[in-house]
Amino acid sequence: MSELTIRDMEQDGDFAAWFSELLEQEEDPAGWSSVLDERYLILSNEIGDWIGGLRFWLRGGVAHLVDVVVLPRERHQGHAHRLMEAFEVRAVEAGAHVAEFWTDDDRSEGLLGALGWRRILQRENYIGRRSWSLMEKRLAPRR
């Protein structure tokens, strides 16, 4: 028997593609896929400089918001709202019926609440031993 090795792997395009192909072969007969489709939205200014962005993934009709960030000097101008709106539009276009986001920041919870999200779970002593909230928004197809 050959010697087997387990090692850590940083983000690698070749391995990621191989792994995704393998996952696709394991799809449920009903069509549900466990493949994680990670995406980014980039907000840039008139000369193309990046001033903010949003990272999310899609899986089985769920759009999971991972991060939203805007440069400190560009904040309080509605950029996060623009990114969130674009996220919701793209999530619906990709077939998502629900969006979710874990946060430990009361400010983001307030922003999301103003955009129609609601807290569905609060978990104490979670990541970093802090309290985290799971925010959710049901998505409807745009007309």
16-66 pLDDT, tens digit each: 777 777 767 776 666 656 667 889 999 999 999 999 999 999 988 999 999
Q: Domain of 121?
A: 13-138
Q: Is there a domain that residue 7 lies in?
A: no
Q: What is the pLDDT of residues 57-78, one digit of tens each?
A: 998 899 999 999 999 999 999 9
Domain total of the chain: 1
* Residues of the chain by 3-state class (helix, strand, coil), percent to 5: 30, 30, 40
The CATH number linked to 72 is 3.40.630.30
> What's the pLDDT at 42?
93
Q: Is there a domain that residue 122 lies in?
A: yes
- With a CB cutoff of 8 Å and minimum separation 6, the contacts of 118 are 135, 136, 137
Burial (Cβ within 10 Å: 0-12, 13-18, ≥19) of residue 9? exposed
Q: Is there a domain that residue 42 lies in?
A: yes
> What's the pLDDT at 31?
60
Q: Phi first, then psi: what are they for 139, rounded to 5°?
A: -105, 135
Q: Is there a domain that residue 133 lies in?
A: yes
> What's the pLDDT at 110?
79
Q: What is the pLDDT of residues 80-129, one digit of tens each?
A: 999 999 999 999 999 999 999 999 988 888 788 888 999 999 999 999 99
Whether residue 124 contacts residue 131, with contact meaning beta carbons closer than 8 Å, is answered with yes
Q: Is there a domain that residue 143 lies in?
A: no
> What's the pLDDT at 69?
93
